[in-house]
Structure 1
Amino acid sequence: MPPPDRLELLAAQTALTGLDFVAVDASQTQLDLHFLVDPAVMAPAFPGTVEPGQIRIRAAERDDDDFPILALLWPIVAGRQVLRIEVPFPGGFQDYVLSIDHPRVDPWFSSLRFSFKANCDSGLDCRPRSACCPPAEAITVNVNTTARDFWGLRGALMDFAAERWPDWKDRLAADVGVMIAELAAALGDEFAYIQDQISLESRFDSARELRSLRQHARLVDYEIDDGAAAAGWLSIDVAPGDSGDIPAGTAVIAPSDTGTPVAFEIGHGLADAEAGRLFPVDAAANRFHPYIWDEDLPEAPAGEVGPLWQGGRHVPASCLPRGSTELWVAGHHAAAIVLTDVPADPAAPLGRWMLLRVDPADPSRPMRRHIVRVIEVAEEIDPVNGDAAVTRIRWEPAQATPDDIDLEFLTVEGNLVPITAGRIVRVRFAAGQQGAGDPVLPRTVEREGPVGITRHLFTLPGSEDLPLTRIGTFPGQTVPEVVLYELRWDAPSDDWVRVATWDWRRSLMGVNASLPESTHYTLDDGIWRPIVRHWRMPAAYAGRQDPGGPPRFEEGRLVHYDLAFGAGTTIRFGTNDFGRAPAEGTAFECAYRLSGGRGTNVARDTITRWADTPLGFVAGFYNPLPTTGGRDRETPERVRRLAPALYRTITYRAVIEKDYVEAGERLDWVQSAGARFRHTGSWLSLFATADPKRHDALPPDLARGLLEHLDRFRQTGRQIHVVPPRYADVDLDITVCVARGYWRGDVKGRVIEALFGSCDAAGFFDPDNFTFGAPLYRSVLEATIQSVAGVRAVEDMLIRRRGVFDWRRLDGPYVPARADEIIRVAGDPAHPERGFVILRMEGGS
C-alpha cells in the first residue's frame, strides 16, 4: 500500500498540528512560529497550552546549551494565529533547530531548522550544484577572424565544409547545403553589424546616434543643447474704428531664402494657445504722438556761452534723454492704453507692451525702435498751454531708453503682441489595443520592458522634417513645446474628452526620479518607422491578428518597425518602475510645435503675411525688431569637446580649501567665500564663511543654507562649520568744504547718499563693494565725495578701527584688510558698532 500523505491527513483534522516555518523579526529577538493547522481552529483549544519548558532551541551543528526563552505570546499575524517566542538576544550565524515536545504536536512535524540571520543579505547561492558532466569532444576549427561580411563568412563556411565533409562537393546555389550556408552567412553578417553598432554606441568618442551621445554626456552631468526657437514682437495696425481679440496660436509667416516660409504663432508659446489666451487690440491704440512741453532754445552765436537749461535740464525739451522711464503723449488715452499684460510674478504690476519708434527725416540719423512695458497711465493737462490734454505713461526701469530719442520724429505704437517661431500640430494615438466602441487611433510601437512590462513609444509626426520647438535662453535647459493629454471617449457627445495631463520630464531617472505611479513621459531622439518589409502572399496572413503596435500586415508585406537614424522625436512612457506605464488601450492627444533653429531669426519688417485666413479687423502688421533667440542643436563634435571639459571644470566634490571656496561661490547670494582647515582634535575640520551680497552681516538663514550646500561636497569624516565673516569695522571723521552758493544741509545729504546709497543707486560703502582682503582706498573715497555737486574739497579725514587703534589722521594711501577680513562701514544708527561716518561741513551758504 502507498505511504500516506501526512500533510493531507493533518489538514483534514483539528486535534493535532505541526510546525510549518519560523518568521524571524528584524530585531532577531522575536520568532513567529507558524503551524500547519491554524491553532485558532483546533479543538479543544491549543493556544496557551504550550509551556516554555516544552520548547527547545539549540544549535544544529554543535552541542551547545539550549537558547533561553523570555516569553510566549499568541498573536494573529496575516489572519493566522502564531506562537511568538521572545528571546533575550540574537543568535549566531549557524543554523538552529526549534522543537516542541507536546502531545498536540505531530512528532513527525515537531521540529524544524531555521536561521536567526534569515533577513540578512548573503552572497551564497542556495541552489545545489549540478552534476558534473564530462567535457564534450573538442572540434578543431580554423576560424577566420577577419570574416565579418556576407561573402567573407560564406567563404569561411565553405572552407569548413570542405574540410569537415570532403565528400560533399556540390556547390550549386540551389543546393540545400549551400542555401543553409548562405543563410548562416547572412545571419552572421547581421550579427557582426549589430556587434559593431553596440561597440560604436558604447563609446563616447564613436557614438553616432544622438540618444547614445546624450546618455554618455549625462554621465558627466552635461545636457546637450537642443537649440531654441526665435521669438519677437508684432505691431498690429487695426482698421480705423475697429477692435478685436487675436487668439494665441494665430499663425503668421515671413519669407525665406529657401522658398519655405518661416512660420510664427502669436503668443509666448504653446501654453498660451492651450490656455486660450486672447490679445486685445484697438484702433485707438494704433499710434500716439509725444507731447513736447517747450520749444528748444536757439543755439548761441559763435564765441558766446550756450543757453543754461532751466530746472537742471541738460538736454533740449524735444529730446527724451537716455535712461528715461516715462513719456507724455498728446491727448487723453487712458481708455485706449489698457494694462492687459499679466506678468509671471504675481507681485509685479499689470502692464502693456508698447513700441517707441523713431523715423528721422534725415536718413543720416539713426532709426531707433525700443520696446517698453508700460505699468502706469495717468491723464493730465498742461495749464500753460490752454489746458492741453496729455497722458503720462511710465514703464519699467528694466526698459529704460538706451539712447537719446528725438521727440519730433517719435511715434508710440500700442498694439504689440508677442510671437514665437513654430506651428502647432495635434495628433491622437492609443497605447495598445483599444476598447470596443472607441474610434480607431494610431497605435504606439510596443517593446518588451523590464519584468514583462510593455514599453510604449510614439514618434511625433513631422518631427523628422522640422525640429521640435524648444523655448529657453540657457543652453541645455530649454523646454520642449509639448503637451500630452489623456483622453476618454464620451459616447453621448460623440467626442474625446480630456481627463488628465501627463507631465514631461527631461529624464525619468536622476536626482528627481519619477515614481512608479507618476504620470510622466520623456522624449527620445530618433523615430520609429517601418525598417524592413518582407514580401509574402496575402493569403498567408488572412485573418491573422496584430499582436501589438502599429499595423504590421500590409498588402502582401510583413512590416517590421525599428528605431531609425537621423532626426525626429519620440515619446517614451515609463514601465511602472520610473514613471507609470499607460494602461492597455489608453488614448492620448498630443499638441506640439515644430520649427526652430537659426533659420527662425528673421530681419525686421519681414513678418507681414497671415499663414491662414486673415482677421478682418486687422489692417496690417509687421515685426519692428528682428526675431532673436533661435539657435541650432549642438553638434556632436562640440559635445565631445565640451562635455569632458565641463566635467573637469565644474566638480561636485571638495578636497582642498580652494574646492570649498569655489563650491560656496556657486550660490547666487555669495559675493566671495572663504575656507580654512583647522585641527580640532583628532581630525581636520573645515571652517567656512561667506560675504553675502546686499548684506553687511551673514544672516542665520543664509548661513544654514551655506552649510547644507557645502555638506554635499565634503569628504566623509570631515566636519564643516559655518562661521560669520570677520569684519574690520571702521569709523571715519571727514571734514568737507562746501562751495559758495550751496547750502550745507543739501550738500551733506547728497554726500551721505553718495557714501551709503539711495533707492536708485548703491553707495561707496555698499556691502557689495568690499569683500575679503579688499582695502579701503583713500583716493577713491575722496573722489566719490568730490564728485558730489556743491563739494569744493575734502579738507581732512580721521579714522578709527574699533578694538585695534583709536582716532588718527588717515595719511596712507589705503586702509589694509587681512585676507580673512571685510572692511565694513554700515552707517546704521541702530548698529553704530558696525562703523559710522561723521561729516563736518564748512563753508557754503
Structure 2
Amino acid sequence: MMNNSLYRRDMYRRDKSRLYSCTNEQRRHEVRKRNLNGLDYLEVSDDQFYLYVYFIGALPENITKENIRIEGGQRIRDIQVIDVELEHQKDPTLDSYLRVRVDKYGDFSTYTLRLIGLEGIDPHYSYLNFSFKVNCPSDLDCKSAHICPGKERTEPEINYLAKDYASFRQLILDRLALIMPNWQSRHVPDLGITLVELLAYVGDYLSYYQDAVATEAYLDTARQRISVRRHVRLVDYPMHEGCNARTWVWLETKIDTSINLKDIYFITTYQDLPVSNPVLKIDDLRNIDSKKYEVFEPIVKESQANIELYKKHNEIHFYTWGNRECCLPKGATSATLLDEWISSTNTPTKQDKCDDDAPKPPNLERKLQLKPGDILIFTEVKGAKTGNQADADINHRHAVRLISVKHGVDEVYRVNVNNVTQDMPTPIVEITWATADALPFPLCISAIGLAPECQLIENISVARGNVILVDHGRTVTENLGVVAAKTEIMPCEGENQPADVTAVAASFYPSLKYAPLTFRQPLSKQDLHQAPATSLLTQKPRKALPQITKLISNYPSWSWTPQLDLLGSNSQDKHFVVEVDNEGYAHLRFGNGELGQMPVAGSNFSAIYRIGNGIAGNIGADTIAHIVFRQNAITGITPHNPLPAKGGTQPEPLSEVKLFAPSTFRKELQRAITAQDYADIVMRDFSDTVQRAAATLRWTGSWDKVLVVVDPLGEETNNNELLAAISQHLYRYRRIGHDVVVKQAIYVPLDIEMTVCVQPDFLRGHVKAALLNLFSNRILPDGRRGFFHPDNLTFGTGIALSKLVATAQTVTGVENVVVTKLQRLYELDNGELDNGILPLSSMEIARLDNDPNFPENGQFKLSLHGGR
C-alpha cells in the first residue's frame, strides 16, 4: 500500500439529496453502537487504478465486486470494478481495508463509490464521494469547509461619485422616492427630512475620513504632522520638534545662604506685576495670566539640587598685580582674582595652608569659595572712557567654567586687616578655564578716562559668581485618565465547552492639555558639571527629547520613559513616544506588546511635564527679574541673566521635511568604502576638534590598510586621546578587510630667509618687529592669526612665494621684499624659488615656529636694509 491522500466521509461527501451541511456528525457513533457498518474513508493509489476503502466497523466478509459501484464523472464515465481483496492488518493499531481495482482512472470531477446489496449497512454511510486526482500538485488544502450558505443579497445601485453632503442627501431622497412613493414631504421640520440630512452628514464625514486616510498614506500628500513624522522615520530621518532656550542666571545675594534648585524657578519681568520685590511666592502669581511672562527652571540633577550662595561672589575684582590700564586679551584662558581676608569662624590649632601651600595668617580665612567646576561670568560694568554704568558694552559678557583654582598671596602689595595689627599679604586666586571658553573679545580691566579729568577708571570689568544654568519651560501636572478595558470572548471550543472571557486594555492614546511641550537635548551629570560653559548653551534639536519628567501609572506603580521611537523597544520596556500634531499639542503613543509594553487595563496615568519651547525662550540679556519659591521663600536674592538666552528652535516645517527626508539617507555616510569616506566621517563627527582630515589606502601585501591623518584644531603636538577616540569611532564604519590606522599629520619644518628694504623714514627695529609678529604662529593683538599659525596651515597647503611677498608688503615701512631662501629645513634646494612655491604632499602640513629653543620646528630669518 502506497502513501496516498485520504478521503474522509465527513470531508468530501456531496450528496444533492442532503439538506444540511454539518461540522460534527454524531450519527457515526450511533452506527457503531448499533453494530451497523458503513463507509468511513478511502485512499487513491499513485497510479489511480486502486482504491483503498476503510469501513466504520469490521470489514464485510461476504463483499464482492458486484457490491461496489462507481458513479459519476464528466469526461470519463462507466468505470468498472475488476476485483476486490480484503486486507486484514495484524497490528491492532492499524485499520483493515478493502482493495478495489478499477479498469480505468477517472477525470478531475467528483466520483461516488456506493455499496449495494449488503446487509447491515447504514444508508447514510453507504456511499462516499472522492476524486481520482487527489495526488495531483495543488496549492490548496484538500479539506473542503462546510459552510452554511447565507442569504443572497441584492446590491443596490450606488453612485460612487456622491462624496459630499448635497450628493448624499439627493441620493437618499431618490432612493426613498423609489421604495416609499407615498412619502412626499420635503419640509425641513419633517422627521423624515431630519433623518435624511443626518445620514447625509454621516456619509459626508465618512467620505472625508476615507479621503483623509488615503491622503495621509503617502509622504508627498500627507498634511498631518504625526503622519509625516512616521513616514520619514522609516527612512531614518528624525524630524525634530524644536528645542527650548538656555541661559545663565547670576543670583545676586545679600547674605550667604543655601537654596534648593528644585524649589525655585525664574520669570521674566512685565509691567502688570503688582509687586516689585524680586522674590515671589507661587501665590503671588496665582491670579496672573501665565502668558504674560516666560518661565525658566534650573537644570539640575537630583544629587546636586542644593547650591551655596556667597555674598562675596556677587562681584569679584580682577587683580592686575599693581599695574594699570590693563585688559585680558582675546583668547585668554586664565586670570587672577582679588581675594579678601576675613575672620575665621574656627580656631585653628596650627598654621593652616591653602591648597597650593600659600601661607594663611592665623585666625583668618579667605572670603572667596571658588572651586573647579564653578561658572563665572565676566561682565563689563563701566564704560571704558566715562566710567558710567550706562556706557558699559553689553556685548562684553562671557561665561567660563573653571578647570583649576589656585590660591596665593602677593607679598609686594599688602593690605590692612581689622583684627591684625600688622599688614598682611594680598590674597589672590589664580583661575584657568578651558580653551573652548576662551575670551572672544578683549576684556578691559582699567583705563584712563576722557580729558580733561583723565582719571584712572578701575574695575571696568568684574567676575560674577553664584551662576546656575537654566532653560525655558514651566512644570505642570496633569491626570491623563484611566486605561479602559474591553472584553474579549473567544469562540466556543465545542459543545458544552465555553471559552474563557478575558479583559484586555483598550487603545490608550492620551493627549496633553497644555502646549507647547518642552523639548531639550539631555545633559549627563558629567556634562552639567564639567563641560565648557560655551557648549552647554548649544543644542542639537534632532537629539532633543520631550520633557515629560514623570509619567506614572498607579496599577502597577510604574514609571514610563520617553523615546524617539519604539523600533528598538521589546515587550517588557516601559517606553512611549510623543507625537505633536499640527496645532502643537502632544499625544502619547504606547507599545503594542511587542514593540514596547502595553499599558495594563485599569491603570490611571498621571504626567508631570514642562511647557515652553521654541524661539519664545530666546529672551534678551537682563530680562529675568524674579525668582519664585514653591515653598519657603528666602529674601535678599535678585536674579539676573547677563547673557541672552540662546538655542530656542522652532519645530521643523513639514515642507522642509518632505524636501530633505527622501534623500537624506543617501547622503549620510553609514559605511566607509573609499579612502575619502574615512576622512569625511572624521570631519563630520569630530568637527569641533579636527580642522581637516585626509586618508589613503595602502596595500600591505595581504590586505588594505587605511591611513587616516588628522590635523587637530590649534594642536601642534600629538594628541593621543583624540587619535584613540577617532580610531575607535571609525571601527564601526570600516569596510571588511580594512585595517584602520589613525595618525597625526606629518609636520614639515620650513627654512625661510627674506631680505627687506625699509623706507628711509622708518626705524628698522620697528619694521622687523612688525614682520616677525606678522609671520609668527600666534594670535595677533588685533585678533588675527599669524601667517604660520597652525590653523592657517593644513594638508597639502604649499607655501607660495608670491603670498610671502604680498604679506610682507602689508607692513608699514616696507619698501621692497626679496625672498632669498624657501625650502624644507635641513634639506637641499629643490628649486622652490625658481618654481615660486614650496609644494607639500596630501599628508604633510607646513610648520614654522621660529622658536630659538626649538630650531628644529622651523626658522624664519630677516635681513633688513635702509631705514634708520
Mapped to 1, the partners of 2:392 and 2:549 lie a distance apart of 47
SS state at 2:589 partner = strand
The aligned residue for residue 244 of structure 1 is 258
Query: Aligned partners of 1:732, 1:660: CA distance in 2, in Å?
Result: 27
Q: Which residue of 1 aligns with 2:587?
A: 570
Q: State the Cα distance separating 1:231 from its structure 2 match.
A: 1.8
> What one-letter code is carried by the residue in structure 2 that aligns with 1:366?
D
Asked whether the 8 Å contact 1:339–1:352 carries over to 2, the reply is: no
Cα offsets for 1:397-420 (capped at 9, x unmatched): 333332231341233322222222
1:385–1:181 distance in 2 versus 1, CA, 3 Å:
closer
> Structure 1's 277 and 705: CA in aligned 2 closer, same or farther, altered over 3 A?
closer
Q: Distance in 1 between matches of 2:341 and 2:260?
A: 25
How far apart, CA to CA, are the structure 2 residues paired with 1:483 and 1:7?
A: 72
Which of 588, 591, 603 is residue 608 of structure 2 equivalent to? 591
Could you tell me whether the CA contact under 8 Å between 2:627 and 2:638 is conserved in 1?
no
Matched to 2:589, the amino acid is R
Which whole-Å CA distance do the structure 2 matches of 1:815 and 1:222 have between them?
46
The normalised TM-score by structure 1 is 0.58
**Alpha carbons 1:689, 1:725 under 8 Å: kept:** yes
Instruction: Work out whether 1:692 is the aligned partner of 2:676.
Output: no
Query: Max radius of gyration: which structure?
Result: 2
**The residue matched to 1:383 in structure 2 has which SS?**
strand
Aligned to 1:461: 513
Instruction: Give the alignment of 1:183-582 within 5 angstroms.
Output: 184-240=199-255, 242-255=256-269, 260-268=291-299, 272=301, 277-296=305-324, 316=325, 318-324=326-332, 325-332=334-341, 335-339=366-370, 349-360=372-383, 361-362=387-388, 366-367=393-394, 368-386=396-414, 387-397=424-434, 398-401=436-439, 402-407=441-446, 408=458, 409-428=460-479, 431-432=482-483, 454-463=506-515, 466-471=516-521, 473-484=539-550, 486=552, 501-509=559-567, 513-526=568-581, 566-582=583-599
Residue 733 of structure 2: which of 709, 719, 730 is its match?
709
Alpha-carbon distance change, 661 to 106 in structure 1, aligned in 2, over 3 angstroms: same
- Contact kept, 8 Å, 2:177 with 2:183, in 1: the verdict is yes
Within 5 Å, which residues of 2 pair with 1:602-621? 602-612=619-629, 615-621=633-639
Using a 3 Å threshold, how does the CA distance of structure 1 residues 252 and 61 change in structure 2: closer, same or farther?
A: same
Q: In structure 2, what is the equivalent of residue 149 of structure 1?
A: 164
Task: Tell me which of 592, 600, 611 is aligned to 2:617.
Answer: 600
Write the distance in 2 (CA, Å) between the matches of 1:566 and 1:736. 69
Is 2:644 aligned against 1:626? yes
Moved more, 603-612 or 187-196: 603-612
Which residues of 2 match residues 78-157 of structure 1 at below 5 A? 106-108=93-95, 124=139, 126=141, 141=157, 143=159, 145=161, 147-157=162-172
| Residue identity opposite 1:214 in structure 2 | R
Amino acid at match of 1:328: L
Letter of the 1:396 partner, please give it.
Answer: W
In 2, the alpha carbon distance for the partners of 1:815 and 1:255 equals 62
Question: Contact between 1:263 and 1:611, CA under 8 Å: does it hold in 2?
Answer: no
Displacement, 1:106?
Answer: 0.4
Q: Which amino acid aligns with 2:306?
A: L
Kept in 2: contact 1:232–1:623 (CA 8 A) = yes
Distance 1:483 1:726 in 2: 44
Question: What secondary structure is seen at the aligned counterpart in 2 of 1:141?
Answer: coil
Q: Which range moves more in the overlay, 189-198 or 385-394? A: 385-394
Q: CA deviation at 1:573?
A: 1.7
1-structure distance, mates of 2:261, 2:470? 12
User: Over the residues paired in the alignment, what is the CA RMSD in angstroms?
Assistant: 5.7
**Paired residue type of 1:247:** L
Distance of aligned partners of 1:396 and 1:104 in 2 relative to their CA distance in 1, 3 Å threshold: farther
Q: CA separation in 2, counterparts of 1:784 and 1:123? A: 87
Structure 1 distance, partners of 2:138, 2:431, is 74
Relative distance call for 1:525 and 1:131 in structure 2 (3 A) is: same
Change (3 A) 1:776 1:217: same
Distance, in Å, in 1 between the alignment partners of 2:607 and 2:412 is 62
Tell me how far apart the structure 1 counterparts of residues 150 and 704 of structure 2 sit (CA, whole Å): 64
CA contact (8 A) 2:443 2:461 kept: no
What residue number does 2:130 align with? none
CA contact (8 A) 1:328 1:392 kept: yes
Which moves more between the two structures, 723-732 or 351-360?
A: 723-732
CA change 1:219–1:141 in 2 (3 A) is: same
Q: Contact 1:775/1:814 (CA < 8 Å) preserved in 2? A: yes
Deviations 1:443-493 (A, max 9, x none): xxxxxxxx9764323323323xx443534712322222112354669xxxx
Structure 1 residue 576: deviation in Å?
Answer: 1.0
Amino acid in the other structure paired with 1:462: Y
Paired residues of 2:707 and 2:740 also in contact (CA < 8 A): yes
Amino acid paired to 1:391: I
Q: Which residue of 2 aligns with 1:822?
A: 843
Pair 1:201–1:800, CA change in 2 (3 A): same
Shift in alpha-carbon separation, 1:604–1:237, aligned structure 2, 3 A: same
1:394 is paired with a residue whose SS is strand
How many pairs were matched up? 607
Retained in 2: the 8 A contact 1:786–1:794? Answer: no
1:578 deviation in Å? 0.5
| CA distance in structure 2 between the aligned counterparts of 1:696 and 1:774, rounded to whole angstroms | 22
Q: TM-score, normalised by structure 2?
A: 0.57
Distance in 2, matches of 1:202 and 1:257, equals: 49
Gaps of 5+ in 1: 9-58, 64-100, 111-121, 297-315, 341-348, 435-450, 490-497, 527-564, 712-718, 743-749, 756-760, 828-835
Unpaired runs of at least 5, structure 2 = 1-25, 34-43, 49-87, 98-136, 273-288, 343-364, 415-423, 447-457, 486-502, 522-537, 713-717, 757-763, 766-772, 779-784, 811-816, 849-855
Change (3 A) 1:591 1:165: closer
Are the counterparts in 2 of residues 382 and 390 from structure 1 also a CA contact under 8 Å?
yes
- What's the CA shift string for 1:162-217, capped at 9, x where partnerless? 35665665657788876665554333222112112213322434433221122233
